[in-house]
């Protein structure tokens, strides 16, 4: 058995495809460094879109880069004579050039069909991530990249940061790597010089603000940023720097326009390239930001982040991957937005107020730790997390507001271990489950754990039903394998095929009815997507493995959930509960 997901990687020429967002590039740095460590002789090439070409020199361990520039066509939209053929010709030329480099491993960090077709065209044999087969059907290579494919549809139960998923998807242990960026001397010098120009003193408390974001409805309102800026200036004598690209200048102007202390607010939108941005961010003590690429830069540079996660942004997935940052999220039933939702009633952005951020920042400045002050007001509709490394050396989120655990929290916790054991092939021993539950109870208020015991037992029963189905599937697959070897008539084969359909439909319905178990069902379907060829014997064996793996995953999940039940039933917990209850009784209203 491999240890903790660290597998040998052999490759001479590695292509990393990251064509979507700037943040993804930062989040890929542990993966890239890990690959470099494992294959020190390999040449690593990073493919990026032209929007982020300037960012490549800041990514460590990259030997070379390829810039896909389809933006050039978007800018020519007005030209009537420009057709798709021009894009075709460009892509053909670009890909032939890429092909000539004879990459032997590609890591695809995107879900897009475009990237899958690109990999097919390039004909690279070893793939980590989304791809398609020669007939264009969707496939995903590597269990963690398959997880990347089901995660958006089950995000509430996802405990893994993209950094961890990316890294493990290329057999790199994230525990051994950190996100990093090169900060060149030039960028430091340039930022210092620019600071002088803008009148920003060397000893000043500088707080950066990244008010824009790629999706408009993820943004905190401009008036909130203005109000916060006024508080930070008035209360802490801070200097506020507004970051952003040129298209975000109107937003920056709006913030400055609304603020009272314009003299202390510097609008840098559209005035920095990526290198200068890195220099500026490294000058900041805090960065207040929506879920943006600038946030990930700050995480890599060690600048303390006060992050705002609204709409689809989900701190568990895309939070900054370094410790000590503070993340705000609305705590309402629809947050975060599910995959594909187009919300036209963005109420979540109003659940977090400037006063909340100011209280936390001013407190942190005094105590150098994130503590909840008493004057924060009602916090029922807000989550606050701090990023931290856990005892397993994995980066996670600590709830700053300790709330009663709900069923979703329990499942998220249980899935963490389930997937690590299943996908990462880590030690599946039950030893330590109790300690893990105890750790869970440190993050959550488990006083009322009893309230979720009944539904939890109900879900465990559902898992049992699913396990039964997976066993039926395994049996059907074994019958098929035997039948195929003994050459049973086609009509009997067909009947077995129908049996698989029945079982799979039933599992799928169970997943739809009970979202808590859907990740396992979805993963089963994701694995089946990879089935190739017409060889019935081989397909039957793959089907058998699929049902067996699902059975193992269900057993792990059940084991962990049972550990919670057992912990609740245990004498220690009950003793503790009596104490809690008696205190409550003695001090009514506490």
Partner 1 sequence: MDKFEENIKLLRDHDPALARRVESVGNSESVHVSLSKDGLPVARLGSVSLHSAYRPREEAVRAVSGHVCCGGDESLNVIYGLGFGYHVEEMLKRFPSGAVTVIEPAMEIFRAFVANIDLKPFLPRTRFLIAEPPPRILARLAPGDWRVMRHLPSVRVAQGAFGQLESSRELAGFLKSNSLKILVVNPIYGGSLPTAKYCARALENLGHRVASVECDKFADGFLSLAGITGDKQNAKVLAAQFMNFMGEMIAARAADFCPDLILSLAQAPLTPAAIQRLRALRIPIAFWFVEDFRTLPYWKEIAASYDHFFTIQRGEFLDQLKSHGAHDVYYLPQGCFPDVHRPLELTPEERKTYGADLSFMGAAYYNRRQTFPRLLRHDFKIWGTGWRLESPVGERVQNENRRVSSEESVKIYNGARINLNLHSSTYHEGVHPEGDFVNPRTFEIAAAAGFQLVDERSELKELFRVGDEMITFVNIEDLKEKIAYYLARGEERNSIAQNSRIRVLAEHTLESRMTEMLIRVFAGRFEFLKQRIAERKEPLDVYIEQAGENTGLAQYLERFRGQPEFTLKTAVDHIGKGEGALTKTETLMLMVNQLVRDGK
Query: The tokens of 247 are what?
Result: 């298209």
Instruction: Bin 242: left if φ > 0, else alpha if -120 < ψ < 50, else beta.
Output: beta
CA distance readout (Å), 1 to 88, 428, 517, 548, 567: 46, 11, 27, 18, 30
Q: Per rule CB under 8 A, is residue 550 in the interface with partner 1?
A: no
The string of DSSP codes covering 62-126 is --EEEEE--HHHHTTTT-TT--HHHHHHHHHHHHHHHHHT--SEEEE----HHHHHHHHHHT-SE
Q: How far is the CB of 140 from partner 1 (least distance, A)?
A: 17
Interface positions, 87-106, toward partner 1 (CB under 8 A)? 87-89, 91-92, 95
Which stretch in 117-125, 317-325, 480-488, 530-538 sits in contact with partner 1 by CB under 8 A? 117-125
Q: Residue 304 in 3-state DSSP?
A: strand
DSSP category for residue 339: T
CA distance readout (Å), 585 to 342, 579, 580, 588, 590: 47, 10, 9, 6, 9
The binding track of 6-25 with respect to partner 1, each residue x by CB under 8 A or -, is: --------------------
Q: How far is the CB of 84 from partner 1 (least distance, A)?
A: 5
Q: Per rule CB under 8 A, is residue 134 in the interface with partner 1?
A: yes
Nearer Cβ to partner 1 (468/530): 530
Query: The tokens of 120 are what?
Result: 């097919």
Q: How far is the CB of 539 from partner 1 (least distance, A)?
A: 19
Nearer Cβ to partner 1 (98/298): 98
Q: How far is the CB of 82 from partner 1 (least distance, A)?
A: 9
Contact residue for partner 1 among 8, 75, 84, 490 (CB under 8 A): 84
Give me the numbers of helices (H) and strands (E) for the chain, helices first please: 21, 14
The string of DSSP codes covering 278-301 is HHHHHH-SEEEEESSHHHHHHHHH
Contact residue for partner 1 among 53, 117, 182, 530 (CB under 8 A): 117
Q: How far is the CB of 135 from partner 1 (least distance, A)?
A: 6
Q: How far is the CB of 338 from partner 1 (least distance, A)?
A: 23
Contact residue for partner 1 among 3, 12, 72, 114 (CB under 8 A): 114
Contact residue for partner 1 among 10, 72, 112, 260 (CB under 8 A): 112
The string of DSSP codes covering 520-571 is HHHHHHHHHHT--SS-HHHHHHHHHHHHHHHHHHHHHHHHHHHHHHHHHHSH
Q: Per rule CB under 8 A, is residue 113 in the interface with partner 1?
A: yes
Which stretch in 1-9, 116-124, 143-151, 280-288 sits in contact with partner 1 by CB under 8 A? 116-124
Contact residue for partner 1 among 53, 86, 462, 495 (CB under 8 A): 86
Contacts of residue 538, defined as CB under 8 A and 6 or more positions apart, other chains included, come to none
Helices 536-569 and 571-586: crossing angle, nearest 10°?
50
Q: Per rule CB under 8 A, is residue 75 in the interface with partner 1?
A: no
The string of DSSP codes covering 266-280 is EE-TTS--HHHHHHH
127 beta partners: 106
Binding residues for partner 1, rule CB under 8 A, total 22
Beta strands 138-141 and 126-132 are: antiparallel
Q: Residue 333 in 3-state DSSP?
A: coil
Contact residue for partner 1 among 53, 56, 67, 70 (CB under 8 A): 70
Nearer Cβ to partner 1 (88/531): 88
Q: Per rule CB under 8 A, is residue 67 in the interface with partner 1?
A: no
Helices 143-150 and 162-169: crossing angle, nearest 10°?
150
Q: CA 345, 351, 354 angle in degrees (round to 5)?
A: 125
Q: Per rule CB under 8 A, is residue 85 in the interface with partner 1?
A: yes
Contact residue for partner 1 among 50, 76, 79, 136 (CB under 8 A): 136
Query: The tokens of 489 are what?
Result: 């008539």
Q: In this structure, are residues 485 and 447 in contact, taking their beta carbons and an 8 Å threshold? A: no
Q: Per rule CB under 8 A, is residue 72 in the interface with partner 1?
A: no
Nearer Cβ to partner 1 (70/406): 70
Beta strands 206-210 and 326-330 are: unpaired
Q: How far is the CB of 530 from partner 1 (least distance, A)?
A: 17
Q: How far is the CB of 302 from partner 1 (least distance, A)?
A: 37
Q: How far is the CB of 17 from partner 1 (least distance, A)?
A: 13
Interface positions, 140-169, toward partner 1 (CB under 8 A)? none
Interface positions, 207-266, toward partner 1 (CB under 8 A)? none
Nearer Cβ to partner 1 (111/271): 111
Q: CA 269, 274, 275 angle in degrees (round to 5)?
A: 120
Q: How far is the CB of 23 from partner 1 (least distance, A)?
A: 22
Q: In this structure, are residues 328 and 308 in contact, taking their beta carbons and an 8 Å threshold? A: yes
Q: Per rule CB under 8 A, is residue 120 in the interface with partner 1?
A: yes
Q: Per rule CB under 8 A, is residue 49 in the interface with partner 1?
A: no
Q: Per rule CB under 8 A, is residue 135 in the interface with partner 1?
A: yes
Nearer Cβ to partner 1 (118/259): 118
Nearer Cβ to partner 1 (70/376): 70
Write out the residues near partner 1 by the rule CB under 8 A.
Answer: 70, 73, 83-89, 91-92, 95, 112-114, 117-118, 120-121, 134-136
């Amino acid at each position: 058995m491999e240890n903790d997901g660290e597998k040998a990687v052999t490759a001479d020429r590695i292509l990393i495809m990251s064509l979507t967002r700037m943040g993804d590039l930062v989040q890929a740095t542990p993966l890239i460094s890990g690959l470099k460590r494992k294959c020190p002789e390999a040449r690593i090439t990073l493919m990026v879109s032209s929007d982020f070409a300037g960012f490549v020199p800041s990514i460590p361990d990259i030997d070379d880069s390829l810039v896909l520039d389809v933006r050039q066509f978007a800018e020519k939209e007005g030209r009537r004579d420009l057709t798709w053929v021009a894009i075709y010709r460009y892509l053909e030329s670009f890909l032939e050039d890429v092909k000539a480099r004879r990459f032997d491993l590609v890591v695809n960090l995107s879900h897009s069909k475009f990237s899958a077709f690109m990999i097919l065209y390039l004909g690279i044999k070893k793939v980590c991530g989304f791809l398609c087969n020669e007939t264009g059907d969707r496939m995903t290579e590597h269990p963690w990249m398959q997880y990347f494919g089901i995660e958006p549809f089950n995000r509430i139960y996802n405990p893994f940061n993209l950094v961890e998923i990316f890294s493990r998807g290329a057999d790199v242990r994230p525990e051994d790597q950190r996100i990093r960026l090169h900060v060149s001397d030039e960028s430091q010098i340039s930022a210092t010089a620019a600071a002088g120009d803008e009148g920003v003193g060397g000893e000043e408390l500088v707080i950066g603000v990244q008010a824009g974001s790629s999706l408009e409805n993820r943004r905190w309102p401009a008036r909130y940023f203005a109000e916060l800026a006024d508080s930070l200036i008035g209360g802490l004598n801070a200097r506020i720097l507004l970051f952003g690209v040129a298209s975000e200048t109107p937003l920056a102007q709006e913030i400055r326009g609304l603020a009272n202390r314009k003299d202390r607010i510097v609008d840098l939108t559209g005035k920095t390239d990526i290198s200068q941005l890195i220099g500026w961010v490294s000058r900041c003590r805090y960065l207040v930001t929506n879920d943006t690429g600038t946030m990930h830069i700050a995480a890599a540079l060690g600048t303390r982040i006060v992050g705002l996660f609204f709409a689809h942004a989900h701190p568990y997935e895309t939070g900054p991957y370094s410790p000590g940052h503070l993340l705000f999220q609305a705590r309402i039933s629809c947050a975060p937005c599910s995959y594909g939702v187009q919300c036209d009633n963005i109420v979540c952005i109003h659940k977090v107020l400037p006063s909340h951020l100011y209280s936390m920042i001013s407190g942190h400045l005094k105590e150098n730790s994130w503590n909840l002050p008493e004057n924060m007001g009602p916090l029922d509709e807000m989550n606050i997390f701090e990023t931290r490394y856990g005892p397993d050396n994995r980066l996670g989120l600590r709830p700053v507001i300790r709330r009663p655990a709900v069923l979703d929290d329990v499942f998220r916790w249980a899935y963490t271990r389930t997937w690590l054991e299943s996908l990462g092939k880590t030690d599946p021993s039950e030893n330590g489950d109790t300690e893990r539950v105890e750790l869970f109870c440190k993050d959550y208020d488990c006083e009322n754990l009893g309230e979720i015991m009944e539904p939890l037992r109900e879900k465990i029963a559902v898992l049992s039903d699913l396990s039964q189905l997976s066993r039926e599937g395994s049996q059907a697959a074994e019958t098929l394998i035997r039948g195929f070897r003994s050459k049973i008539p086609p009509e009997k084969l067909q009947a077995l095929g129908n049996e698989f359909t029945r079982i799979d439909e039933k599992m799928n319905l169970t997943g739809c009815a009970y979202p808590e178990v859907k990740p396992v069902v979805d993963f089963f379907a994701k694995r089946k997507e990879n089935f190739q060829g017409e060889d019935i014997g081989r397909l039957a064996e793959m089907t058998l493995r699929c049902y067996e793996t699902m059975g193992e995953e269900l057993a792990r999940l059940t084991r962990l959930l049972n550990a919670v039940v057992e912990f609740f039933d245990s004498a220690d917990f009950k003793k503790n509960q009596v104490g809690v209850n008696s205190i409550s009784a003695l001090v009514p209203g506490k």
